[in-house]
Amino acid sequence: MNTASSPTPPASPASQAPTPAYVLLADKQRVAPKLRVDEARAAIKVIYGFSDKPTYDLFSENSPTPCCPYPLVKGYLRTELNALPETLLLIAIDPPAPAGADLDAATYQSVLKAQETRSDTVAIDYRLKWDPDCQAYRVEKDTLDSDTNALAAAPLDAAPTSRPTTPE
């Protein structure tokens, strides 16, 4: 086997997820996870995103609220990035249900870049950890542990104070 021509695998398979192409709407609003009260007050916004029909169908089956799929479009991502530059904007990718499971999340910026480059995958930088005590999610930043080369979640102390804007 000629290893020189083999592509280099990603550092960790858990650091990538399928690029979301859909959101679900309920009452004309994008369906979003419930965040813990302390994080709901912070400058963080999270919506659910889905890579394909089977993933949003599974979510819809497990949701008490009727939902309908809608394309996750670049224009929406750009508009939100420009309108909310002080807000951490995340997409929780392929959740199986509205609550209960820990979820991978990517930034709007990463998803927009993946869509623009037509990448099948997007970088995962955050985790939504389910907190059963308050029945809501806690947002954590994923960090790569250099000793084990494994992803480890670190609590999110504060939202970023600035982010480059995306031209329309």
pTM confidence score:
0.77
Which percentage of the chain shows pLDDT scores above 90?
A: 68
Asked if residue 76 is part of any domain, the answer here is: yes
In Å, how far are 61, 104, 140, 146 from 111, measured between CA atoms? 25, 13, 18, 25
Asked if residue 161 is part of any domain, the answer here is: no
Asked if residue 7 is part of any domain, the answer here is: no
Write out the residue range of the structural domain in which residue 49 sits.
12-155
Domains in the chain: how many in total?
1
Q: What is the mean pLDDT of residues 1-20?
A: 57
pLDDT tens by residue, 133-156: 999 999 998 764 434 333 444 454
> Please, what is the average pLDDT of the chain?
81
Asked if residue 97 is part of any domain, the answer here is: yes
Asked if residue 167 is part of any domain, the answer here is: no
Rounded CA gap, 160 and 140, in Å? 13
pLDDT above 80: residue 120: yes
